[in-house]
Amino acid sequence: MRVLGVDPGLRNMGWGVIESRGSHLRHIANGTCKTDAKDTLAARLLSLHAQLTDVIAAYEPDTAAVEQTFVNKDGAATLKLGQARGVALLVPAQAGLAIGEYSPNAIKKTVVGVGHADKGQVQAMVRVQLPGVTFDSPDAADALAIAICHSFHAQSSGRLEAAMRAAQ
């Protein structure tokens, strides 16, 4: 299974693609979709859409995962992040992909084992699970963590469904 993880952001939208075969994970690629803060909001969202569409076309993921938005004190920034997250959900949906959504704490708990891990701990564990990986940016590292989280949850869900079918 090829998984696309997306860390939404208006200035920098991280993405990472991994391949999952059983419990074995392999890094495929990672990068950052960037926009110019001087452009209009509409132009920035369009740019993110085009860049993420190109990523999906190039790496052909089977599924995608996107980090859920957290609400901070700056309402305007939260709204802009929400709009970028809309693009992060729209593009995989347009490609016909099933999309998982995970809170930042769920991602950290899955990848590190602690829901309040810092970015350095997350990056260290991503390096352990994807040996030899180099990150395009901190946002791309987060996107790989999101992909890893989705891979583990998809495996667990598949095992649960198989057990339920066997029990019937």
**Segments of the chain scoring below 70 in pLDDT:** 71, 156-168
Q: What is the pLDDT of residue 165?
A: 60
pLDDT at 132: 94
Report the half-sphere exposure of 3 (CA within 13 A, side-chain side): 28
Q: Which fold has domain 2-167?
A: Nucleotidyltransferase; domain 5 (3.30.420)
Q: Which residues are catalytic?
A: 7, 67, 139
What is the reported pLDDT for 91? 98
Q: Per residue in 38-70, pLDDT tens?
A: 999 999 999 999 999 999 999 999 999 999 987
CA 76 to chain centre: 23
Structure-token pair, residue 32: 């950052």
Q: Which residues are annotated as a binding site for Mg(2+)?
A: 7, 67, 139
Per-residue model confidence (pLDDT) at position 23: 82
d(CA 153, CA 155): 5
Return the pLDDT at 167: 61
Residues in the annotated binding site: 7, 67, 139
Q: Are 124 and 114 in contact (CB under 8 A)?
A: no
pLDDT score recorded for residue 154: 86
CA atoms within 13 A on the CB side of 105: 3
